[in-house]
């Protein structure tokens, strides 16, 4: 949804923009191409992604500032850079194509690799730790809450059973355990059976949903008047959080519905650019399966 994201930002050539999940710089390069005296802040918690982005953006280095951090820390990063406001922000949530396409990172169930899944390779917790050290109850909770996996308990029990035979070290081993946890009749009914399990463990490893709603609101509050924020999600858990954050930012009152009068003191801070989330075109869905679940929501600061 490259075109939809770039169009949604309404880029002006002399303004300051931020790509808070730069990945392989697919969005960033299209932003920076449209800048003249403007500036791009390229943020990612994955240092490898920043190196790859730097290579792709090498012809525009005079317009780009790279920041190695979780975008949830953006307000303090902007303070350190002495930037008060931004004119546009793009957040492409979840795992990036750059990370999925590097098999050694362990994000994909389609290629055998060490169980890792860290976006920030400097952190301790990996998918290996969760799969080999967490209890059945803890694993089941992760799979159910972050993957909406109906067979969470069975998969967790099968993981524990396999651990008693030996360490589960690779993505291929984990994918096979999940695959065999499904009845043969429904195993491939909704795509690869390990999809939800890998999503859930990845989210847990990286704390992707922790503090996300508050972070989105704080980032939006650093927008300049008329500045835009575009957030793309790829599963219902993310989208629900973004929707709730945007609802608060675009509402005049956030009191409970049963309150007879407003006492919250809240004021509308932004307005929706698109009332319903934008989805990929039919052409893109056919060409890129990763776009099937994508939803893009955009707000404009008032």
Q: What is the pLDDT of residues 60-116, one digit of tens each?
A: 999 999 999 999 999 999 999 999 999 999 999 988 888 888 888 999 999 899 999
pLDDT at 265: 81
Q: Are 87 and 227 in contact (CB under 8 A)?
A: yes
Q: What is the pLDDT of residues 194-205, one digit of tens each?
A: 999 999 999 999
List of domains in the chain: 2-94+209-301 (3.40.50.150), 103-206 (1.10.150.170)
Placement of tokens 């301790």 in the chain = 124
**DSSP letter string over 180-194?**
HHS-TTTTTTTS-TT
Which is it for the CA torsion 66, 69, 72, 74, positive or negative?
negative
Which parts of the chain register pLDDT below 50? none
Residue 224 burial (CB count, 10 A)? 14
Q: Are 194 and 50 in contact (CB under 8 A)?
A: no
pLDDT at 232: 97
Q: What is the pLDDT of residues 122-134, one digit of tens each?
A: 999 999 999 999 9
pLDDT at 224: 98
pLDDT at 264: 82
pLDDT at 37: 95
3-state secondary structure of 106: coil
pLDDT at 2: 92
């Amino acid at each position: 949804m490259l075109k939809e994201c770039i169009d949604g930002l309404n880029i002006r050539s002399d303004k300051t923009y931020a790509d808070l999940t730069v990945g392989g710089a697919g969005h960033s390069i299209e932003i920076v191409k449209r800048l003249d005296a403007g500036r791009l802040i390229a943020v990612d918690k994955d240092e490898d992604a920043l190196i790859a982005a730097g290579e792709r953006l090498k012809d525009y280095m005079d317009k780009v500032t790279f920041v190695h951090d979780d975008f949830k820390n953006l307000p303090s990063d902007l303070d350190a850079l002495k930037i008060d406001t931004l004119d546009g922000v793009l957040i492409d949530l979840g795992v990036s194509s750059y990370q999925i396409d590097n098999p050694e990172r362990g994000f994909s169930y389609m290629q055998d690799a060490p169980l890792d899944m860290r976006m920030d390779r400097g952190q301790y917790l990996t998918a290996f730790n969760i799969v080999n050290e967490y209890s059945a109850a803890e694993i089941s909770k992760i799979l159910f809450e972050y993957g909406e996996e109906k067979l969470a308990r069975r998969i967790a029990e099968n993981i524990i059973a396999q651990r008693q035979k030996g360490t589960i070290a690779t993505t291929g081993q984990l994918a096979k355990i999940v695959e065999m946890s499904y009845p043969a009749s429904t195993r491939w009914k909704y795509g690869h059976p390990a999809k939800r399990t890998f999503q859930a463990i990845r989210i847990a490893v990286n704390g992707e949903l922790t503090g996300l709603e508050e972070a989105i609101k704080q980032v939006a509050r650093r927008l300049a008047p008329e500045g835009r924020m575009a957030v793309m999600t790829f599963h219902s858990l993310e989208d629900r959080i973004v929707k709730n954050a945007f609802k608060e930012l675009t509402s005049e009152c956030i009191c409970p519905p049963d309150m007879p009068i407003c006492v919250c003191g809240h004021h509308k801070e932004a307005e929706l650019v698109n009332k319903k989330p934008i989805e990929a075109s039919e052409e893109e869905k056919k060409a890129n399966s990763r776009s099937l679940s994508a939803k893009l929501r955009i707000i404009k600061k008032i």
